[in-house]
Amino acid sequence: MRAPELRIATWNVHACVGTDGQFHPGRTSRVLRELRADVIALQEVEHHDVDGGDLLDYLASVTGLQGVAGPTLRRETRHYGNAVLSRLPIQRVNRVDLSLDRREPRGAIDLTLDWHGRALQVVATHLGLQPLERRRQVRHLLSLFSARRADAGILMGDLNEWLLWGRPLRWLHRHFASTPQVRTFPSRLPLFALDRIWVDPHHLLRRLEAHRTAQARHASDHLPLKAVLHRV
């Protein structure tokens, strides 16, 4: 039996602080529900107490998805970093350290999900601000896909890549095939395609677009990027 279509998304939620400077997890959760996605990669998820629980637990609860945390900064009072929300059963979790000395810690969450009997590898990440960081981090990320343990692979997140012809993007296009550049930052008037989704095999990718609702424009400084995949 072929698996049904899969809706995926990636979004830098800016710690649930909107363009008005207000911390508003309810607004963030409403945008997540608008996406109607089965798997969502989140960046800049910061621990907050929301309704007596952790922010990620709150977002998982209101969306009906399972949350996987991948903190990169561990503070005494608040952790901060990546997360994934998934409707698909999670078979394997691998938290990957992409940090370089004297730079902000970075990481990725490498998941194997059960897509109706097919293995789906999903890697969610948030890369560094310096070109040297991104080059090393992208090489590490591509090595995660080299074993080809899954029937399909997805890499998504905030790549912070401003250089359209930089080596990291060339390497990613070579591995995953060229994917459209969709502008997502800044959210009110998007100029840069910082948020990316790559799919292997490429022919599974049916649609790729920014989520441009009024709430999304105000909920973060990034717009969500969403995609629909064909059946495996």
Give the pLDDT confidence score for residue 49 in this predicted structure: 74
Half-sphere exposure for 90 (CA within 13 Å, toward CB): 19
In a domain, 1, yes or no: no
* Residue 25 falls inside a structural domain: yes
Residues whose CB is less than 8 angstroms from the CB of residue 225 and which lie 6 or more positions away in sequence, other chains included: 9, 10, 11, 156, 182, 184, 195, 196, 197, 208, 209, 210, 211
Residue 166 within a domain: yes
Q: What is the CATH number of the domain that holds 195?
A: 3.60.10.10
Judge whether 118 lies within some domain.
Answer: yes
**Per-residue pLDDT, 147:** 74
For the stretch 37-77, pLDDT in tens is 999 999 999 888 787 778 999 999 999 999 999 988 776 55
Residue 45 within any structural domain of the chain = yes
Tally of domains in the chain: 1
Place 193 in a pLDDT band, splitting at 50, 70 and 90: very high
Instruction: Please check whether residue 172 lies inside any domain of the structure.
Output: yes
Determine, yes or no, domain membership for 95.
yes
Structural domain harbouring 12 = 6-229
Which pLDDT tens digit goes with each residue over 112-170? Answer: 999 999 999 999 999 999 999 999 999 999 999 987 779 999 999 999 998 777 899 99
- Average confidence score pLDDT of the chain: 93
Whether 76 maps to a domain, the answer reads yes
